[in-house]
Every structure is written in C-alpha cells, then in structure tokens.
Amino acid sequence: MVGDVLGTKLVLLGHKVMMGSRTENNEKALAWKNKNGALASNGTFADAAAFGEIIFNCTSGKVSLEALQLAGRENLGFLTGKGASQEEVNAFIQAAEAIPGVLRVHHIMAEYVGPRLMIDMHVNVDGSKTLTEAHQITDSIIARLEEFPHVDRAYVHVEPHDWKD
C-alpha cells in the first residue's frame, strides 16, 4: 500500500519507477504498473534495486530483511559502505597528478553517497605557491574529477610538498 502510493506519486511527478517484488510476475505489481502507464514498470527486488537511483523499502517490517537480501548485495553497496574500485581510485589519482602543479596525491577516499561517488583527496604542491595559485590547482583537480561519470562531488585539500600528516 505505501509503495503503491509513493510509486504513483513519483510517476505523477514524471519519474520512472520500478515496483519490486519476490517474483517478476507478481499480480499486485503488474496491476500497479498497468494502472500507472509508461513511466511505471515492475520486476524482482534485484531488478528494482539495480534500476533505481533512490530505493524505497516499503515492505512490512517482518519481510524487510528478506527483501533487501533478494535485492542483492551488488545493488545495495551504497547502503553498506561500498567504495570505488581500486581501478577507479587509480584513475582518480592519475587524473589529479596530471594537473600542472600537483606533485603527488598522498590521501584519497572515494565512497558512495547514494548511487554516486564522493571523493576526498589530499594533494601536495610546491609550498611557495600563492594562495591564488593553489586555489586554481584545486579547482582544476575538482573539475577533472567531477567529469568522471559516477562522481557527484570532489573535495581537494592542498598542502605544501613537505607537509606531514
């Protein structure tokens, strides 16, 4: 009932919505889909979890854990602290170190906040740079990192080359 109301309202607001259930051919989910038109669809819990940027768990408390298990760990990593892959982290470091003035990246965290990544990076630059020059370097790094498709936001902390954490 709650899922029907939320899903219907989201469809009315112009969002694509997938109603998940244990089975792909659940009668209630099919009826909801047919009632709500082209922006509405249905599938399994795993289908719905993979589909959505935002996921609502509108199951009753006694079946919520089962629904989350059926959604699949691979689809719910942002709920469990999933971070970027090592390959992605290496690409972020390479992108930052390619910016003129960056001597090295000495710290990076890249974690999912919802379906997109937030990057927190510390870089070393020549300590004799002016504040304006250092700020221009961080702006360039941020712009480059936020070009990656799964990155929502990047924060860059600039420190002199001999800085000790």
Question: Which position has the higher pLDDT, 16 or 121?
Answer: 121
DSSP for 33-93, written as a single string:
HHHH-TTEEEEEHHHHHHH-SS----S-HHHHHHHHHHH-GGG-GGGTT-B--HHHHHHHH
User: What is residue 67's predicted lDDT score, i.e. its pLDDT?
Assistant: 76
Residue 98 CA neighbour count, 13 Å, CB half: 10
List domains and CATH numbers for the chain: 2-79 (no CATH), 86-160 (3.30.70.1350)
Q: How confident is the model at residue 107 (pLDDT cuts 50, 70, 90)?
A: very high
pTM of the model: 0.59
Task: Note the pLDDT of residue 48.
Answer: 80
Q: What is the dihedral of CA 47, 59, 84, 149, to 10 degrees?
A: 60
Cα atoms found within 13 Å of the Cα of residue 137, Cβ hemisphere only: 28
Q: What is the mean pLDDT of the chain?
A: 86
Widest CA span in the chain:
68
What does the alpha-carbon distance between residue 96 and residue 101 come to, in Å, rounded to a whole number? 10
Higher pLDDT, 50 or 103: 103
Share of the chain above pLDDT 90, in %: 41
pLDDT for 58-92, tens place per residue?
777 777 777 777 777 666 666 666 788 899 999 99
Q: How far apart are CA 61 and CA 53, in angstroms?
A: 22
Sequence-ordered list of residues with C-beta below 8 angstroms from that of 45, at least 6 positions apart, any chain:
20, 21, 22, 67, 68, 70, 71, 72
